[in-house]
Structure 1
Amino acid sequence: MTDRLSPRDAVREPRLPAGDGVREDGGPETSRVTVVVATRDRGDRLAETIPEHRAHVILVDNASTDGSPEAIREAFPAVEVVRLAENRGAAARNEGVRRAATPYVAFADDDSYWTEGSLARAAALFDAHPRLGLLTARVLVGPSGRPDPISAAQAAAPLGAPPGAPGPSVLGFLSCAVVVRRSAFLDVGGFEPRLFVYGEEALLAMDLAAAGWWLCYDPSLVVRHFPLPAGRNRAARQRIEARNRLLTALLRRPPGVIAGTLASSFRESPPALWDVARSLPWALRHRHPLPAEVEAALTHLAAQP
């Protein structure tokens, strides 16, 4: 069975192989996963996290100016460094996925890494579940390892789990905590470049689900995340987040949801509406409403306390 198999056609569910595949010699724990890291001007953080990765790494640099691509290439010659001519934001990950030679790709930020055994476990789950398009992990934040709130929300399983799936269904995730089936990711177009950063995950989740792939949470997969305190330009981030929520709604959601998102975006950041207005012709050209079952799942999630 090939990795290009349509998720709707996959019916066989083979057993997971025994063991987690971790190598005792310190080498990569799996040859079936590539770790793609998108970065910009964060050489100091990369120096800390690159040694923690347990599979081949493709580092996609968003036109850094701090010399970090060259420093990483010299310090870690096994890392495949791809230097982009411009900052593509989250969509830089698309280039890493295109270059990957493995059937599965894990994303990491320059301040995160997957813990031992997680990537091999993910590869085994993908091998065993041909309808699986995305796995998201439990996220532990900072040196204390406090659980990220999104992990608790995913563990609550408000959407339940499809029969035979390896875990609860999700329709949201943190980009630094997912492994994707490479063919599924590329088939739906990856991360949308127009969204750039902040909230880019929502559209990808919708498109994978609309294509029939399972998106599941598995707490046995663990990501460590060490984010720095948020910057001072809170208003700029709110503007981008509000813009992206409204653009995503315009691209995929029904009129009632668009109206509600328009109102909330205006309350949060009135300038975001100007940004959306400039992209409105593009959004309308690329609008594809979701299948009824995916829209119903999103509605159900929105109603959760």
Structure 2
Amino acid sequence: MDPGLWCSGARVTVVVATRNRWPDLERSLPRHEGPVILVDNGSTDGTPARVRERFPQVEVVALGRNLGATARNEGVRLARTPYVAFADDDSWWAPGALERAAGLFDAHPRLGLLAGRVLTGPDERPDPICAALAAAPLGTAPDLPGPSVLGFLACGAVVRRDAYLGAGGFDEVVFFFGEEERLAADLAAAGWGLAYAPHVVAHHHPSPASRDHGGRRALAARNAVLTAVLRRRWRVVARRALAAARGGGPEWRGLWQAVRRLPRAVARRRALPAAVEAAFTRLEGATAAFEAVRAGNGAK
């Protein structure tokens, strides 16, 4: 397809960040609707050249190095549409989903981020985050199209481009994994609304490539602490550090990694407005209760 035809009249650009995942891209790229910007994080498997050859309609940005989640920032800057949807190399948006999302943004000027419903794997199971978002512990603001949220999955999110760039995009201190929390906090602090829209659907078929689950636990612990240092009250920092210390090997490793990045996080620290901090506290209490109920039901 001619890239010009894609861009004509398009209101949503899909930004895909990738690294060494050509087999996944070969399956997912044909499923995208509208303009696509692929930002390559220094792949060594020939991904940029392969995409340019197989999918000439895709705009490829080869960074030459791994910038983690912040690679998406470059894609958003290059987008020429008012709204941007994120996708992973192993995910894509359902037909018509992005047009529906654009309509919601058009109708709700304060909407800065829309969290869609993410269906996982061949059996299309809703990601566990969907139930937490639908529970609406923060209620539904009258000027938003769905429950107010402060959490989302990047591969199931659509953003207002100007709001995203104004909030600084994703953060190089956090780098990757759990990068959504700080962005949500800064969007809310700037007055933007974040909402869940279950009828805007993304599909995520996790890559068959090997995943280091211990490494991900370490990243989760590290980034939970770093995000708290960047924006949350010090008692939250202490609570998350203590949880990591009690967690075990991967969490201990993550805590040590957080300590090494601590000077950068402290240098960029900016406490949230009281109302946003209170919303996070309320959300965390509701999430803990939700997890306790789910664990109890699973034990029966």
**Do the two structures share a fold, i.e. TM-score over 0.5?**
yes
Counterpart of 2:19 in structure 1 is 40
Counterpart of 1:3 in structure 2 is none
Code of the residue aligned with 1:47 in structure 2: it is E
Counterpart of 1:57 in structure 2 is 36
1:250 match: secondary structure? helix
User: Do 1:63 and 1:87's aligned partners in 2 also have CA atoms closer than 8 Å?
Assistant: yes
Q: Which of 152, 157, 160 does residue 178 from structure 1 map onto?
A: 157
- Give the C-alpha shift of residue 255 in structure 1: 1.8
Q: Which of 268, 283, 297 does residue 265 from structure 2 map onto?
A: 283
- Give the C-alpha shift of residue 28 in structure 1: 7.4
1:229 and 1:73, CA in 2 relative to 1: closer, same or farther beyond 3 A?
Answer: closer
> Of Structure 1 and Structure 2, which has the larger fraction of its residues in helix?
2
Q: Which of 87, 92, 96 does residue 108 from structure 1 map onto?
A: 87
> What is the rounded CA distance, in whole Å, between the counterparts of 2:211 and 2:161 in structure 1?
36
> What is the rounded CA distance, in whole Å, between the counterparts of 1:119 and 1:36 in structure 2?
12
Equivalent runs, 1:95-134 vs 2, <5 Å: 95-134=74-113
User: Do 1:108 and 1:175's aligned partners in 2 also have CA atoms closer than 8 Å?
Assistant: yes
Unaligned runs of 5+ in 1: 1-25
- Give the C-alpha shift of residue 29 in structure 1: 9.8
Counterpart of 2:181 in structure 1 is 202
1:251 and 1:153, CA in 2 relative to 1: closer, same or farther beyond 3 A?
Answer: same
- Report the identity percentage: 57
For normalisation by structure 1, the TM-score amounts to 0.88
- Give the C-alpha shift of residue 128 in structure 1: 1.2
Unaligned runs of 5+ in 2: 290-300
Counterpart of 1:85 in structure 2 is 64
User: Do 2:153 and 2:180's aligned partners in 1 also have CA atoms closer than 8 Å?
Assistant: yes
- Give the C-alpha shift of residue 302 in structure 1: 1.2
Task: Deviation per CA, 1:207-236: give whole Å up to 9, x if none.
Answer: 111111000000110001100358453222
- Give the C-alpha shift of residue 30 in structure 1: 5.8
> What is the rounded CA distance, in whole Å, between the counterparts of 1:114 and 1:278 in structure 2?
37
> What is the rounded CA distance, in whole Å, between the counterparts of 1:92 and 1:198 in structure 2?
13
Equivalent runs, 1:1-305 vs 2, <5 Å: 31-228=10-207, 231=210, 233-268=212-247, 269-304=251-286, 305=289
C-alpha RMSD over aligned residues = 1.6
Task: Deviation per CA, 1:243-279: give whole Å up to 9, x if none.
Answer: 1100111111112111111101222322223222222
> What is the rounded CA distance, in whole Å, between the counterparts of 1:281 and 1:41 in structure 2?
31
Q: How many residues of Structure 1 are paired with residues of Structure 2 in the alignment?
A: 280
User: Do 1:29 and 1:117's aligned partners in 2 also have CA atoms closer than 8 Å?
Assistant: no
- Give the C-alpha shift of residue 116 in structure 1: 1.0
1:230 and 1:265, CA in 2 relative to 1: closer, same or farther beyond 3 A?
Answer: farther
Code of the residue aligned with 1:282 in structure 2: it is R
> What is the rounded CA distance, in whole Å, between the counterparts of 2:201 and 2:34 in structure 1?
15
Code of the residue aligned with 1:159 in structure 2: it is L
